Structure 1
Amino acid sequence: MADTLVVYYSLEGNVDFLAREIADEMKADLLRLETEKEYPKKGLVKFFHGGKDAISNARPKLKTAIPDLSGYSTIVIGTPVWAGKPAAPINTFLAGKNFSEKKVAVFASSAGGAAEKTFSAIADASSASLFATQSFKNPLTNETSSKEIARMFARKVRGL
């Protein structure tokens, strides 16, 4: 078991791409959150359901088993930005957790602007003081640049 866990939710593959790069660079364990009921991946229905759940701080049931987190000193959380907030499966993961004694870093992927509100929501929900954050815009449209930024973020989290 590594001392770092990269935990993430990805609907369209952007966050998955980033999480794998970050975990690889950090030699970290990787945990992809999957919901029991999948979110739509196309059209207005995708935005309606995802945005509604994000705004209402919904906690969809996960089919992913959450391991014992006590052995991890660093938790890196990855999420798409939905309506300015973390994706709802991240809410489920964070429910009842207190990461005040852990190093917590967050990265987010969006089609638009910055992710500061998303970072704040995760910090509040996890009782953590985030020591590193990174926002990505459509990372799969420029994989080479996104990969380099993801690896730089991972090195920052590791303290290199």
Structure 2
Amino acid sequence: MLMHFIKKEIWLMAAKTLIIYYSWSGTTKRAAQALANQVDADVVELTVAPQTFSSDMFATSDVAKTQLRTGDLPTLTSALPDFDQYTTILVGGPVWSSMVATPVRSLLTKLAMYTGTVAPFYTDAGTAGDYEQDFAGLIPQVTVKSGLEVNGQSADQLTAWIQTVMG
């Protein structure tokens, strides 16, 4: 029993978590910060070139739809860490037209061979649609845990989700 406890403690000490997110309006950034207050994690904000998206929601939606139609996803300008150093990656982003936002899609192409656990958290204006199914479908060979739709959850709800993801 003591050895089991020691092995679990060693694993927990070695386990590293990454919170990586894209935030168009600041809402997902606030969610990422709330999660970071609940778990010891490295935090990375995904960025794209400044002129990629408009400050207008409808114009941004049109750009994203064109990106999806053409497959020309935005290039990420943020420095990305070595994902293999993490056992769990929490990926945050807004829901765009009931789907994963295109900057997050760009990230997921880079996670295709990741061997740890990924879990999405996402913000929306009331219509998440099939976000989690879309997310998991973009990285089918990766272990994807149930996500968290963030709509002003309490710290207790965030903690409960983190415990579910991290086991």
| TM-based fold match above 0.5 | yes
Task: Give the C-alpha shift of residue 26 in structure 1.
Answer: 1.2
> How many positions carry a matched residue from both structures?
152
Aligned to 1:101: 115
Aligned to 1:121: 134
Q: Please give the alpha-carbon distance, in whole angstroms, between the structure 1 residues aligned to 2:54 and 2:157.
A: 29
Aligned to 2:4: none
Task: Tell me the TM-score normalised to structure 1 length.
Answer: 0.81
Structure 1 segments (4+ residues) deviating >6 Å? none
Name the SS for the 2:145 alignment partner. strand
Name the amino acid aligned to 2:63.
Answer: H
Task: Give the C-alpha shift of residue 14 in structure 1.
Answer: 1.0
Gaps of 5+ in 2: 1-13
Q: Please give the alpha-carbon distance, in whole angstroms, between the structure 1 residues aligned to 2:71 and 2:42.
A: 27
Name the amino acid aligned to 1:77.
Answer: V
Task: Tell me the TM-score normalised to structure 2 length.
Answer: 0.78
Contact 1:21 1:151 in 2 (8 A): no
Aligned to 2:45: 32
Task: Give the C-alpha shift of residue 148 in structure 1.
Answer: 4.4
Q: Would you say 1:18 and 2:18 are equivalent positions?
A: no
C-alpha change, 1:54 and 1:154, in structure 2 (3 Å) is farther
- Of the structure 1 ranges 117-126 and 65-74, higher mean CA displacement relative to structure 2 is found in 117-126
Contact 1:18 1:147 in 2 (8 A): no
Task: Give the C-alpha shift of residue 146 in structure 1.
Answer: 5.0
Superimposed CA distance per residue, residues 93-131 of structure 1 (whole angstroms, 9 cap, x where no aligned partner): 11143356211111111112234x222222122222322
Name the amino acid aligned to 1:35.
Answer: V
**Which protein is bigger by CA-based radius of gyration?**
2
Superimposed CA distance per residue, residues 35-88 of structure 1 (whole angstroms, 9 cap, x where no aligned partner): 013411225313322344356554201110111111101011111011111111
Name the amino acid aligned to 2:112.
Answer: N
Q: Please give the alpha-carbon distance, in whole angstroms, between the structure 2 residues aligned to 1:87 and 1:98.
A: 17
Please report the RMSD computed on the Cα atoms of aligned residues, expressed in angstroms: 2.4
Contact 1:54 1:87 in 2 (8 A): no
Gaps of 5+ in 1: none
Aligned to 1:85: 99
Q: Please give the alpha-carbon distance, in whole angstroms, between the structure 2 residues aligned to 1:12 and 1:51.
A: 18
